[in-house]
A and B are shown apart, each in its own frame.
Chain A
């Protein structure tokens, strides 16, 4: 296997892009990434996307995007793993370059959620869950996370307000990210009083529906310097899986797939949690942030939420998370998120995170979670 590096990236601001279609938003990110890497060709393009068929009535995204960015003819297809689709596409690109099958690969995470009308977006997102035994009973995707949160609060004796630190930190960090959707802080009082979505998850526990596209360009590490002043080495990009349905898991409060992917990633990179300077985790809901910190080895079982209460997750804390706003503050265009996360880690480890720079960040980790934890992809990056 060859070492693989990121040599350019591009992203659209996350938000409600009523004026842009699926293909236009993809093209913006891809063309920006190609310009950043200084390339006008590529061997392959992989699209991470979850629900374009429901929101835009469009499958077949590989050929569509390749054609639309002037790369008609190259290998291109879509990769899907629910909310982990972005990182799954990155994994496909990483394998293509590592194997020697391709030298120059573009990966784009893409989602256009505001084209869906009414509750159809809630229905589309629920497709990440078990369509035979979860969704026919009226479960929304939020409610599946709520089942986890309620049980977590019960087993570990914590209150809903104890999770506030995750949302407050994310919003605070989003203020300085020009690509973030919510560039304003929130208070603990606002968190506690927010409108209920699926008890105990309220609006401010939840990441927002949004449009977005983010793209990276990959090449073999030994060629990276010829393309970029700031190449970022992918030290690991590893996948773990679990059952789709919560009810099929041995211990719903332990993210087995996250544990598997993180252990594989640590082993491949030859590092431990103590070596990780920042962690872009998948805070689609505050409960997921807590469970992710535990599965990745930053907290013991039931103690992930404590890191949101004692400042450990702040930019200058023991393990900074959501440093550019996370899913909560930046926004969560589902199939695009995994690539946004990787770009944010790349910015941090190359010292280009601006006002949100984590001091001396050298090794960063991103974790993209599909469904309620059925597919988890962990990426470790180093400048």
Chain B
């Protein structure tokens, strides 16, 4: 991914901003401008709570270029509480403790560095939900 592409997707990557369909109410992430449920235009921004649960996960031992320093690392499909699935890394967790259904929350972390002089890419990852310290937020507020 090049610098312009990272810049274009910064809002959704930093804060899980997707869309809501004003026709059928579907919550959409990643944003796509056409509602996948009713195929109407959908461009009203919607900020997801960042809470969800692990739908599936995998620990990667043979990483793509640029992710070698992190291997092994665990990636997941996270089912957000508003409905959509999102693809992301898990963080702050022992891979052996990850299980399907595990409650998780979004955090912002470094995704990769593009060489010594290159950009540092930040984005969402998900960590186990910190039950004791979490203050409930109204749905739709930024995480």
Contacts and interface: CB of A to CB of B under 8 A. Distances in A.
Interface of A: 118-120, 122-123, 126, 130-140, 142-143, 146-148, 150-151, 154, 195-201, 243, 245-249, 252
Contacts of B70: 138
A130 B88 CA distance: 12
A137 B88 contact: yes
A197 B87 contact: no
Contact of B57 (A126, A135, A142, A147): A147
Interface string B62-80: 1111111010010111000
Nearest to A133: B30
Given A132-B9, A246-B77, A247-B77, 14 more contacts: A130-B87, A131-B5, A136-B1, A136-B6, A136-B121, A138-B63, A138-B67, A143-B58, A143-B75, A154-B100, A198-B61, A198-B62, A199-B58, A248-B30
A137 B57 contact: no
A193 B87 CA distance: 28
A142 B61 CA distance: 10
Interface in B1-60: 1, 5-6, 9, 13, 30, 32, 36, 55-60
B123 interface: yes
11 contacts: A119-B62, A136-B13, A137-B87, A146-B58, A197-B61, A198-B59, A199-B61, A243-B36, A246-B77, A252-B56, A252-B85
A135 B111 CA distance: 11
Contacts of A252: 56, 77, 85
Contact of B65 (A119, A133, A151, A200): A119
Contacts of A246: 77, 85, 87
A136 B111 contact: yes
Contacts of B13: 136
B86 interface: yes
Nearest to A253: B56
Contacts of A133: 9, 30, 86-87
- Interface-centre pick from B1, B32, B36, B57 (highest chain A CB count, 10 A): B57
Contacts of A151: 55-56, 77, 100
- Interface-centre pick from A137, A246, A249 (highest chain B CB count, 10 A): A137
B77 A147 contact: yes
Contacts of A120: 65
Contacts of A119: 62-65, 68
B22 to A, nearest CB: 20
Contact of A123 (B61, B65, B85, B88): B65
A23 B57 CA distance: 40
Contact of A247 (B63, B84, B100): B84
